[in-house]
Structure 1
Amino acid sequence: MSRLSVSMPTPRFECSFDSNWGHRQSSKSVPAGTLSVKRGRQSEDSSREEISLSPHPSGFRRRMPYMTLQHRTHYREEQHLTVMVLPGGKVSSHRRSRFWHLSNLRMRPFSVAIRQRGFGVVAVRYRKRGWNGPEQSPVADARQILDRIKARNSDAQVILLGHSMGGRVAAALSGDAAVVGVIALAPWWPSGTDVGLRQRCLLRVVHGTADRWTDPDLSHAAVERARRSGFDAEWIGIDGAGHFMMRRPSLWHRLAADAVAEIAEKTTGAKAGERR
């Protein structure tokens, strides 16, 4: 799999939503994999484009996920590609998500790494921390934000990047016409989880081989099923890494950003640093 590493100007996006997330689950031993990684160079540009995504004024009262765009500089309508960053959470919890919960904080370095490659990022925060069984609480929140991205730009193309429960949310949204890629980090994909990819949607999964919360065997099997069905899918195992991506964190960040760059180039022709 080709890896891209290009120094280009980096647009910066800031976002905040009144939403929620959470989950954990046990698992077992796992298949090992090999890695081939090239280090990326970073560059800074003083002329940064900023878009603030902030909660609706009544968002904290109504506990709804809002995405109000406030223009600080000229918004580039031609920048079609957006990466939605979906955090983890809990199996069951109706408690409200907070920005300082570890599931949210854990994803910030991924957003930074992707922005440094020149791609736009929307970091999602769900209303509730849990998946909550048939309610699938975070799916509705993420879908609402996805719909708002599409309403903003009818040509929008979206890559879903999710950790743990966020990987399950990404799987639930992967059939949307705007979704061109799914990147799942240590995804919570219980047996029977349907990763309903549409045609020409790429799948990349990164999983620690020592994960005891979510099962690497199940995510590996899901990737193999996708490949047998003709999809462009790849599973990467990080030897000895656990669920919370604390072992070799920079490697996790780099692999995620590499996957975004690869999917962007294959689906839109955009290379790292190009505003598409």
Structure 2
Amino acid sequence: MRGARTWAVEAAGPWLTAHGACEDVRAVALLVHGGLEDSTGGTWIWEPAVLRMVPFARALSRAGRTHGLAVLRLRLRLRGWNGAAADPVADVRAALRAVRCRFGAVPVVLLGHSLGGRAAVRAAGAAAVLGVLGLAPWLPDGEPVAQLRGRHLLVANGVFDRHTRPAESRAYLRRARQVAASADFLPVYLDAHPMLRVRRWNEVAVAFTGAVLGWRDACG
């Protein structure tokens, strides 16, 4: 893709794609795409779940360039969560290690859609992570919250979402508030799981990222 550079975190993936150019990197936004509950099939660069994160990456790159924000889009090795293996979580953690190697100990904001939202929330305990934006995240009963201690969490759901239901997100947030620095819910009206109101979702991503990093007012 134009203006994007991709490299493998490890020999067999996952892969990171950097959007835009930022010479003086002071923070990183790491985007994680969605997937399936169970699948050991490999991901592909042109599949819809992967491409769904491109508008977010471009919007964040435009908004954050003058603030030293590097925007990285993660492509997972496998399409599925795969039960106790939780394969996407390992990929996010590998990406966070790669960020530290490349940019040093800069703060990171994680943004993930659906399965990617669950993986981002699970990986939030890494020292560099300041906040997580769950975009219609998959947060089933029993999902842990301890790793969110001191982090900022925002969950945004389309009000018509039937894949990852707003009620499940709210239930998770009630538990997360016991440990998180903040844990808020934002309804996105007239939308569902595919996030077709691209401009509105981009606004949410930019506002949350900027607020956590200190260069934007909180979103609403």
Q: TM-score range by the shorter chain?
A: 0.7 to 0.9
Match of 2:181 among 223, 226, 231: 231
Query: Using the alignment, how far apart are the partners of 1:165 and 1:250 within structure 2?
Result: 22
SS at 2:63 equivalent: coil
CA contact (8 A) 1:161 1:184 kept: yes
Identical amino acids, percent of aligned pairs:
33
List aligned pairs for 1:138-157, cutoff 5 A: 138-157=88-107
Query: Using the alignment, how far apart are the partners of 1:220 and 1:252 within structure 2?
Result: 18
Classify 1:198/1:212 alpha carbon distance in 2 versus 1 (closer, same or farther; 3 Å): closer
Query: Using the alignment, how far apart are the partners of 2:22 and 2:141 within structure 1?
Result: 46
Do residues 55 (structure 1) and 8 (structure 2) align? Answer: yes
List aligned pairs for 1:74-93, cutoff 5 A: 75-76=23-24, 79-93=25-39
Query: Partner residue of 1:253?
Result: 202
Spell out, residue by residue over 1:78-118, the C-alpha distance to the aligned partner (whole angstroms, 9 max, x if none): x2310000000011111110011100111100011111112
CA contact (8 A) 1:174 1:196 kept: no
Spell out, residue by residue over 1:184-204, the C-alpha distance to the aligned partner (whole angstroms, 9 max, x if none): 000001111113344431111
Tell me how far 1:205 sits from its aligned partner: 0.8
Relative to its length, the structure with more helix (as a share) is: 2
TM-score, normalising length: structure 2: 0.86
Q: Higher RCO, 1 or 2 (CA under 8 Å, sep at least 6)? A: 1
The 4+ residue runs of structure 1 with deviation greater than 2 A are 12-16, 62-69, 73-76, 151-155, 195-200, 224-231
**Residue 97 of structure 1 aligns to which amino acid in structure 2?**
T
Do residues 215 (structure 1) and 165 (structure 2) align? Answer: yes
Question: Where do 5+ consecutive residues of structure 1 fail to align?
Answer: 1-11, 17-53, 266-270
Do residues 200 (structure 1) and 150 (structure 2) align? Answer: yes
List aligned pairs for 1:131-210, cutoff 5 A: 131-210=81-160
CA contact (8 A) 1:211 1:242 kept: yes
Query: Using the alignment, how far apart are the partners of 1:172 and 1:144 within structure 2?
Result: 13
Question: Where do 5+ consecutive residues of structure 2 fail to align?
Answer: none
Tell me how far 1:150 sits from its aligned partner: 1.3
Query: Using the alignment, how far apart are the partners of 1:129 and 1:109 within structure 2?
Result: 20
TM-score, normalising length: structure 1: 0.70
**Residue 193 of structure 1 aligns to which amino acid in structure 2?**
E
CA contact (8 A) 1:176 1:198 kept: no
SS at 2:163 equivalent: coil
Query: Partner residue of 2:80?
Result: 130
Relative to its length, the structure with more strand (as a share) is: 2
SS at 2:177 equivalent: helix
SS at 2:150 equivalent: coil
CA contact (8 A) 1:92 1:133 kept: yes
Query: Using the alignment, how far apart are the partners of 2:103 and 2:159 within structure 1?
Result: 39
Query: Using the alignment, how far apart are the partners of 1:236 and 1:171 within structure 2?
Result: 16
Tell me how far 1:123 sits from its aligned partner: 0.2
Spell out, residue by residue over 1:27-80, the C-alpha distance to the aligned partner (whole angstroms, 9 max, x if none): xxxxxxxxxxxxxxxxxxxxxxxxxxx237xx7xx52325699xxx8942xx23
Query: Partner residue of 1:34?
Result: none
Between Structure 1 and Structure 2, whose CA radius of gyration is higher? 1
Query: Using the alignment, how far apart are the partners of 1:55 and 1:227 within structure 2?
Result: 36
CA contact (8 A) 2:17 2:73 kept: no
